[in-house]
Amino acid sequence: MDFDKNRKIALRELSESLSNINEKEAGEFLDRLLKSRRIFVAGAGRSMLMLQAFAQRLRHLGKESYVVAETVTPAIGKGDLLVVASGSGKTGGVINILKLAGKHKADIVFITASSSPSPEKTVSLIVTIPGVFSSRQLMASLFEQTLLLFCDNICLALKGRLKVSETQMRKNHANLE
């Protein structure tokens, strides 16, 4: 088995990918999270799974967050932030959600690996995760891994800005498990 070789490839690629995210874009994303009334996340496939983990962590931090298309997700509007992710930047369902959110005056952050995404004019910030298309890992694994760690690092910065303690976060953690 080539586990050790594959592990080294994955860690090297992930380190490079995270290192190449633009610090200014990350900072603008953090500012939008801080200013938002509520945060909604949307994506497709494994990207959506990473954003679901992000929404959960935002809840732990005391931010009101929702996953688009869940039955308990309220209407989006002005003062809300929609965070969407698409590695290709062209996922049809994600683009349709962008259009709808724009009509409802939501602020929109689009996280992608594409250098030429096709978001609507309503997108206010594009965060690019560069270099993932040359990965030796399976399909879009590097984008999804980087997306999860990027969002976790944003949450760590958010924790400091909000001055939330681990104790407070644990109180917001699910207790019906």
Mean pLDDT of 102-123: 84
What is the SS3 string spanning the chain? CCHHHHHHHHHHHHHHHHHCCCHHHHHHHHHHHHHCCCEEEECCHHHHHHHHHHHHHHHHCCCCEEECCCCCCCCCCCCCEEEEEECCCCCHHHHHHHHHHHHCCCEEEEEECCCCCCCCCCCCEEEECCCHHHCCCCCCHHHHHHHHHHHHHHHHHHHHHHCCCHHHHHHHCCCCC
Residue 10 maps to a domain:
no
129-166 pLDDT, tens digit each: 877 667 665 677 788 888 999 999 999 999 999 999 99
- Between CA 67 and CA 26 the distance in angstroms is 21
Residue 3 lies in a domain: no
Considering its fold, how many domains does the chain have in total? 1
Q: Residue 176: inside a domain, yes or no?
A: no
pLDDT in tens, 57-99: 999 999 999 999 999 999 999 999 999 998 777 788 888 998 8
The answer to the question of residue 108 being in a domain is: yes
Known catalytic membership, residue 144: yes
The more confident residue out of 39 and 12 is 39
Q: Mean of the pLDDT values across residues 93-111?
A: 91
Is position 5 within any domain?
A: no
The whole model's pTM is what?
Answer: 0.91
In a domain, 143, yes or no: yes
Q: Examine residue 147 and state whether it is found in any structural domain, yes or no.
A: yes
For residue 34, the domain's CATH number is 3.40.50.10490
Instruction: Determine, yes or no, domain membership for 4.
Output: no
By residue range, what is the domain housing residue 75? 22-171
pLDDT at site 16: 80
Set 16, 70, 144, 177: catalytic member: 144
